[in-house]
Amino acid sequence: MRLLVGLGNPGERYRATRHNLGWDAVLHLARCFDLRSDGNRFRGLFGGGQVAGERLFWLLPETYMNLSGEAVGEAARFYKLLPEEVVVFHDDMDLPLGKVRMKVGGGNAGHNGLRSVQQILGTPSFVRIRLGVGRPAAGMDPVRFVLEAFTTEERKVVDGLLDALPGALPAILRGDLPGAMNRLVNPPAKSADSV
């Protein structure tokens, strides 16, 4: 069993911002795999289903970024999930736009959502899916940068990233992060029948 968490801020003001890329990713996966929505639970939007024979739940905390851990903790305790069964999708300024990295554990690099999840779970040993948003221009406030919407050109790159994630999800659910990365870097070729 796994819990997919998309970090972001609630409300239309933040919906399309860089800081909500984790939220966008999990919502995209839920739609692609036709996962059910159970409405509001655990202080967020919640649902679940099965992918590749694996039972999973998804959660979009509506507590604001710096309190994300409260929603994650409630869901994890209810389903008796281990920290390593929690998969957190989040924006990352240390990665170029459109790049993805995956790991278990590590620091929070100043990300308030990760800090909150780590504090509530009591450990950094959860899975992180790091989604690159790039760095702000010199002299620009990083907080302002992540709370702005993607440009039209950036959105094309982000949409390509989101479209690639479903192919990697089964490996993520198995805990095979190298295999998931391989699917993102080397997606299977389309057959002549699918073109």
Q: Which residue of the set 19, 28, 90, 111 is catalytic?
A: 19
Collapse the DSSP code of 94 into the 3-class scheme (helix H, G, I; strand E, B; otherwise coil) and give the result.
coil
User: Is residue 111 flagged as an active site residue?
Assistant: no
Nearest to 29 by CA among 172, 139, 147: 172
How far from the centroid of its chain's Cα atoms is residue 130's Cα? 7
Instruction: Give the DSSP per-residue string, 153-193.
Output: HHHHHHHHHHHHHHHHHHHHHHT-HHHHHHHHHSPPPPPGG
- Whole-angstrom distance, CA of residue 140 vs CA of residue 35: 39
Instruction: Please give the Cα distance from 193 to 195 (Å, whole number).
Output: 6
Query: What b/e string do you get for 13-49 counting C-beta neighbours within 10 Å, with b at 16 or more?
Result: ebeebbbbbbbbbbbbbbeebebeeeeebbbbbbbbe
Q: Which residues are catalytic?
A: 19
